[in-house]
Amino acid sequence: MANKLHEGDLPPGLFDGVTSVAIDSETLGLRFRRDPLCLVQISAGDGDAHMVRLNRQTYDAPNLKALLTDPAVTKIFHFGRFDIAMFELHLGVITTPVWCTKIASKLARTYTDRHGLKDVVKETVGVDLSKAQQSSDWGADVLSPEQLAYAASDVLYLHAARTRLEAMLNREGRMALAQACFDFLPTRASLDLAGWDEIDVFAHS
Ligand code: MN
Domain 3-196, what fold? Nucleotidyltransferase; domain 5 (3.30.420)
Q: What is the whole-number distance in angstroms between the Cα of residue 159 and the centre of ligand 1?
A: 15
Q: What's the pLDDT score for residue 133?
A: 72
Q: What's the pLDDT score for residue 134?
A: 73
Contacts of 183 (CB under 8 A, 6+ apart): 97
Cα distances (Å, whole numbers) of residue 49 to 88, 114, 149, 179: 22, 26, 9, 26
Q: What is the whole-number distance in angstroms between the Cα of residue 40 and the centre of ligand 1?
A: 9
> What is the percentage of the chain residues whose pLDDT exceeds 90?
96
Q: What is the whole-number distance in angstroms between the Cα of residue 34 and the centre of ligand 1?
A: 18
Q: What's the pLDDT score for residue 173?
A: 98
Q: What's the pLDDT score for residue 59?
A: 98
Dihedral-angle region of residue 172 (phi above 0 means left; psi in -120 to 50 means alpha; beta otherwise): alpha
Q: What's the pLDDT score for residue 130?
A: 81
Q: Name beta bridge partners: 52.
A: 6, 40
For the stretch 39-91, pLDDT in tens is: 999 999 999 999 999 999 999 999 999 999 999 999 999 999 999 999 999 99
Structural domain boundaries in the chain: 3-196
Question: Taking 90 as the threshold, does the pLDDT of residue 153 lie above it?
Answer: yes
Q: What is the whole-number distance in angstroms between the Cα of residue 134 and the centre of ligand 1?
A: 7
Q: What's the pLDDT score for residue 185?
A: 98
